[in-house]
Amino acid sequence: MIQTFHAPMLVFDLDGTLAETAGDLTNTLNVILEREGLAPVSLAEARQMVGAGARALIQRGFAAEGRSVDGAKLDQLFADFLDHYEAHIADVSHLYDGVVAALDRFEAAGFSFAVCTNKVEVPSKKLLNALKVDHRFKAICGQDTFKDNGRNIAKPDPRMLLMTIDLAGGHRANTIMVGDSRTDIDTAKAAEIPVVAVDFGYTDQHVSTFAPDIVISHFDQLWDAVSKIEKTRV
């Protein structure tokens, strides 16, 4: 029987993993908060709010002032957020040091790549295009890419990761997730996919708390981390 070869795949989170995006997200959040008469949040505060998507970010911004928002009001603020954010998608956002070199090295070794993020799909693609790396990924999937009875399938639902792998033409048995938060780690574990966590992203606790397979502090360390995981699969 002929076996189908599947190239090894790395699936990356986006905000706080591939790219430092907190500045543009914070600036957009503060535009929304100020329109609503609320105090702006600092970059340090916002870094702990990012990671679950724009709706959650808006809700967390309101909660910082002891307010709540949901329903139609949240829907409108979410739409306003996206309009402003997409117009300022990469004013200050940038790839983390070592990302391009890491992609080059893994690609030369036969790896393919995908993105699995709780950011909405369209701004995710716009951001990666602005950062000139969108062409590197077989699939760029956001919180609204996959649906179940009209509802978004988003992390930490493991189906989002598994469906991203399938859409990108990968194989679950030789895929590794790379993320920066508990959400990424929980998603990968639930999908039974190994996970490398970066420790420079957006989380209110150190990522080691959530027991990823390996923690790295720079993309220069990703090659060795992936090699270590692959050895355990042999």
Residue 148, beta-bridge partner list: 151
Strand ranges inside the chain, DSSP E: 9-12, 19-20, 94-95, 112-116, 139-141, 147-148, 151-152, 175-179, 195-198, 214-216
Active site residue 13: yes
Residue 198, beta-bridge partner list: 216
Residue 4's alpha-carbon distances to 16, 135, 232, in angstroms, are: 34, 25, 22
Active-site choice (13, 24, 180, 184)? 13
- Residue pair 48/77 in contact by the 8 Å Cβ criterion: no
- Give the separation between CA 50 and CA 142, rounded to whole angstroms: 15
Residue 112, beta-bridge partner list: 9
Q: Where in the sequence numbering do the catalytic residues fall?
A: 13
